[in-house]
Structure 1
Amino acid sequence: MVKVRERKETGKLYFDFFYKGRRCREYSSLPNTPANRRKMEKVAKKMDAEMTLGTFAYREYFPQSRRLKEFEALERAPEAEAEAEASEPESDVPLFRDFAEQWLQENEVLWRFKTLESNRSALRRHLIPQFGDWKVSDISKADVLAFRSTLAKVPGRKGNATLSPKTINHTLGVLSMVLAEAADRFQFTFPLQNLKRLKQPKREIQPFSWDEVQRILEHVRPDYRNYFVVRFFTGLRTGEVHGLKWRHVDFDNGLILVRETYNRGRTEYTKTDGSQRDVMMSSVVADALRAQREATGRSDYVFHTANGQPLDTKNVAERVWYPLLRHLGLALRQPYQCRHTAATLWLAAGENPEWIARQLGHTNTEMLFRVYSRYVPNLTRQDGSAMDRLLRARFHGETDNEGKEVRDEG
């Protein structure tokens, strides 16, 4: 299929297509405007039709192309081409770089933006430099194992000595998906059957204690206090908080409707179907959101920048979060630990793990017990009331029905 794309460096349009089993990019001098795009898409449809009928002639469309002689030779000698194909059955098997780009284009509509960027990065940083000039059918398991050993020696990012097992596993996972599709299309044996993943060390969570949460909320910038109340006491993921819109805050029923997430400048569908959920608001969270509505209630997003855009994760971390932790003398931890803190506070309050799992967007309690096993007390309650009573006691000094101050039993 012939596609019309924009060359980012110049803003000009070009044709992107496969012909005779080879990847072709033919550039135009037309800037990317709606009119020019329509004009080129009309030509692209005609090219598609002629390729399907076998009447396509490269010279008619690209008389100045540097690849003209290459394709004219193939077009003038179909018999010779057929003989070459018969004697060399893999002649139409594409190079890895060409097929990987095609695979990426074909699947981009299936993935969330973050997944697309992650897969594209694995291809362009590691896989194409290694296997780009190989035919997809020539890549063996031994080649991949040797490549994995090389990857394990590549310097990592953020000060890490080498790439993490997680990054290496993801890179080989992308390679496996590309080769599996290629093997199916070009009828060769998939080489990575039963390839074992590297063992990934278990990550220890670092939730904040109740005293640390109080200190953070007491000293954080006033314009971010409501934001961190929501983060600490709802378990929302970073993108879910940043993508939260006022139309998804149901004060009447005390619910936050998690329907979207914001990541890398895009609002999109949540991480998984299970992440689509209704999170119960404690009274403290409801009070924080009502106060926040006074500041941002006329905008779409609950928490946003001065120009009305969702908060930027890196900006919040570098300008608000880490400076605050340093000021308080607390160990530096990612803002995502707020989610872990919510889970451990719910567990300490004695909430039912099934209810907690639903609040966090887990489909079952397996992950809850695996990640938070040392925080799980005896099960005594069924809903969010225990946490709500704990928060009321901490924030407002309220007492229970017998006149005793509500205490944390965890």
Structure 2
Amino acid sequence: MSVRKREWTTPKGETKSAWVVDYFDTSGKRRLKTFPLGKKKQADQFAATASVEVRDGVHVADSASVTVEKAGALWIASGETAGLERSTINQRKSHLENHIVPLIGQVLLSKLTVPAVREFEDKMRQEGRSPAMAKKVLTSLGSILADAGERGLATRNPVRDIRGSRKGRERRSERRQKGRVEVGVDIPTRDEIKALVASLDDHWRPLLVTTIFTGMRSSEIRGLRWQDVDFKRGEIRVTQRADEFGEIGKPKSEAGIRTIPVPPLVINALKEHRLKQPNGTVLVFGNPEGEPRSHTNIINKGLIPAMIRAGVTVEGKAKYTGLHSLRHFYASWLINRKEDGGLGLPAKMVQERLGHASIVMTMDVYGHLFPRADDGREMADAANALLN
């Protein structure tokens, strides 16, 4: 590895000078990296960095590198080969084509540094991308670099470096911004659910009652099969889901495969619903063609009109406009004390019923709903039991 001054004469007779870093890469191939005459410091820095990278076997020369756009195309191809859902592939393509390529698509991976990524992030915000979108696109860029690293096309992942330094700060910021789900704001109250159930018509009652008392995700409800409903045992087994395109697949994680006990109210509604369907129907809540019903159809024609009929409104509009609000209610119903109309289940059972991959996820969202064991009455009882 050497840094030397090179002088040469152009075909026009002009004398040129530059600093050249002369070295051999990890494969033993000779490489020359040229810097302008006034950039001796940068040449020395490059030589020092390249020397360490070559020694560690991770160096990629600029001439052997690829552009961010090319690496992004390989990243998308990797996802398609791995069988990722169409919605995930479409999101990857959207991030690459609409946000990454226009701003840094032609930059070589070997030149993508932490300052370059910070500048890219700033440009996204300056051009009107929301903070949430900028964060998602940055995550995609990090995934592109990770994929390129596995292919030997990149030696570093500056997105990972940035995220590592921000991790604690971002987590605290997200907690402040997002907050916890609140009863009456994100979670329907008991009275609102009672009014909603009473307002359901025969067509939407089976689906919405099942959602309320199972907490199943929209994709799981839309992919539910009759063979997964056990009328005798009063249970529903979640084994598959329907994505936004109606394609059937496995739940998002192993934890999503679960068995949920359901009350007679749900079983009776499903029995009546089945009697109205033709023999051989596979999906419980399919459309007239037997295909998965769309999420938008359920919201706009089922949930929102039912909310309005029930009087669960704000300024004349449905107060809750997403099926996830019913999932939140189910979680609170599992958690609440029995004397308060709930089931009083421990956190681990709540996690299993909801199909969360981690207890941390359950506690982050619903931990504040669990009854405290140190309220005044229980503290007095414990003290009396200890001292008497």
Residue deviations 1:321-353 (CA, integer Å, cap 9, x gap): 223334424223322111010011121212233
| Contact 1:255–1:279 under 8 Å retained in 2 | yes
Determine the C-alpha separation between the residues in 1 that align with 2:213 and 2:256.
Answer: 17
Aligned residue in 2 for 1:229: 209
Bigger shift: 131-140 or 260-269? 131-140
**Aligned residue runs from structure 1 range 198-237, under 5 A:** 198=170, 199-200=173-174, 201-205=177-181, 206-237=186-217
| Contact 1:260–1:268 under 8 Å retained in 2 | yes
Q: Which amino acid aligns with 1:119?
A: R
State the Cα distance separating 1:245 from its structure 2 match.
0.7
**Aligned residue runs from structure 1 range 341-352, under 5 A:** 341-348=329-336, 349=342, 350-352=344-346
Aligned residue in 2 for 1:250: 230
Q: Which amino acid aligns with 1:304?
A: G
**Aligned residue runs from structure 1 range 274-353, under 5 A:** 274-296=255-277, 298=279, 299-327=281-309, 328-330=311-313, 331-348=319-336, 349=342, 350-353=344-347
Q: 3-state DSSP class of the match of 2:93?
A: helix
Q: Cα gap change, 1:303/1:154 in structure 2, threshold over 3 Å: closer, same or farther?
A: farther
* Structure with bigger gyration radius: 2
Determine the C-alpha separation between the residues in 1 that align with 2:372 and 2:307.
Answer: 32
**Aligned residue runs from structure 1 range 93-132, under 5 A:** 93-110=65-82, 111-132=84-105
**Aligned residue runs from structure 1 range 259-274, under 5 A:** 259-264=239-244, 265-274=246-255
Q: Cα gap change, 1:357/1:140 in structure 2, threshold over 3 Å: closer, same or farther?
A: same
| Contact 2:141–2:159 under 8 Å retained in 1 | no
Identify which of 165, 168, 173 aligns with 2:139: 173
Q: Cα gap change, 1:151/1:325 in structure 2, threshold over 3 Å: closer, same or farther?
A: farther
Q: Cα gap change, 1:203/1:296 in structure 2, threshold over 3 Å: closer, same or farther?
A: farther
Q: 3-state DSSP class of the match of 1:362?
A: coil
State the Cα distance separating 1:363 from its structure 2 match.
4.1
Q: Cα gap change, 1:352/1:183 in structure 2, threshold over 3 Å: closer, same or farther?
A: closer
Q: 3-state DSSP class of the match of 1:126?
A: helix
Determine the C-alpha separation between the residues in 1 that align with 2:160 and 2:131.
Answer: 23
Determine the C-alpha separation between the residues in 1 that align with 2:224 and 2:362.
Answer: 24
Aligned residue in 1 for 2:156: 189
State the Cα distance separating 1:235 from its structure 2 match.
0.8
Determine the C-alpha separation between the residues in 2 that align with 1:306 and 1:164.
Answer: 41
Residue deviations 1:80-133 (CA, integer Å, cap 9, x gap): xxxx99557432422221221122102323333333232222212211221212
Q: Which amino acid aligns with 1:128?
A: V
Determine the C-alpha separation between the residues in 2 that align with 1:378 and 1:251.
Answer: 36
Q: Cα gap change, 1:374/1:106 in structure 2, threshold over 3 Å: closer, same or farther?
A: closer
Q: 3-state DSSP class of the match of 1:189?
A: coil
| Contact 2:229–2:236 under 8 Å retained in 1 | yes
Bigger shift: 116-125 or 323-332? 323-332
Aligned residue in 1 for 2:117: 144
Q: How many residues align?
A: 289
Q: 3-state DSSP class of the match of 1:257?
A: strand
Q: 3-state DSSP class of the match of 2:158?
A: coil
Determine the C-alpha separation between the residues in 1 that align with 2:251 and 2:234.
Answer: 21
Q: 3-state DSSP class of the match of 2:260?
A: strand
Q: Cα gap change, 1:177/1:283 in structure 2, threshold over 3 Å: closer, same or farther?
A: same
| Contact 2:95–2:140 under 8 Å retained in 1 | yes
Return 5+ residue gaps in structure 1 as ranges. Answer: 1-83, 156-161, 380-410
Determine the C-alpha separation between the residues in 2 that align with 1:243 and 1:163.
Answer: 33
| Contact 2:149–2:155 under 8 Å retained in 1 | yes
| Contact 2:215–2:331 under 8 Å retained in 1 | yes
Identify which of 130, 139, 146 aligns with 1:163: 130
Determine the C-alpha separation between the residues in 2 that align with 1:285 and 1:215.
Answer: 17
Return 5+ residue gaps in structure 2 as ranges. Answer: 1-28, 34-60, 314-318, 337-341, 374-388
Determine the C-alpha separation between the residues in 2 that align with 1:178 and 1:374.
Answer: 37
State the Cα distance separating 1:238 from its structure 2 match.
0.6
When normalised by structure 2's length, the TM-score is 0.68
Determine the C-alpha separation between the residues in 2 that align with 1:339 and 1:363.
Answer: 16
State the Cα distance separating 1:148 from its structure 2 match.
1.4
Q: 3-state DSSP class of the match of 2:248?
A: strand
Determine the C-alpha separation between the residues in 1 that align with 2:260 and 2:77.
Answer: 36
Determine the C-alpha separation between the residues in 2 that align with 1:296 and 1:154.
Answer: 52
Q: Cα gap change, 1:139/1:255 in structure 2, threshold over 3 Å: closer, same or farther?
A: same
Deviating 4+ runs (over 4 angstroms) = 84-89
Q: Cα gap change, 1:370/1:150 in structure 2, threshold over 3 Å: closer, same or farther?
A: same
Q: 3-state DSSP class of the match of 2:161?
A: coil
| Contact 1:244–1:302 under 8 Å retained in 2 | yes
Aligned residue in 2 for 1:366: 360
Aligned residue in 2 for 1:73: none
The percentage of aligned residue pairs carrying the same residue is 21
Q: 3-state DSSP class of the match of 2:116?
A: helix
Determine the C-alpha separation between the residues in 2 that align with 1:310 and 1:267.
Answer: 8
Q: Cα gap change, 1:329/1:252 in structure 2, threshold over 3 Å: closer, same or farther?
A: closer
Q: Cα gap change, 1:338/1:109 in structure 2, threshold over 3 Å: closer, same or farther?
A: farther
| Contact 1:137–1:183 under 8 Å retained in 2 | no
| Contact 1:347–1:376 under 8 Å retained in 2 | yes
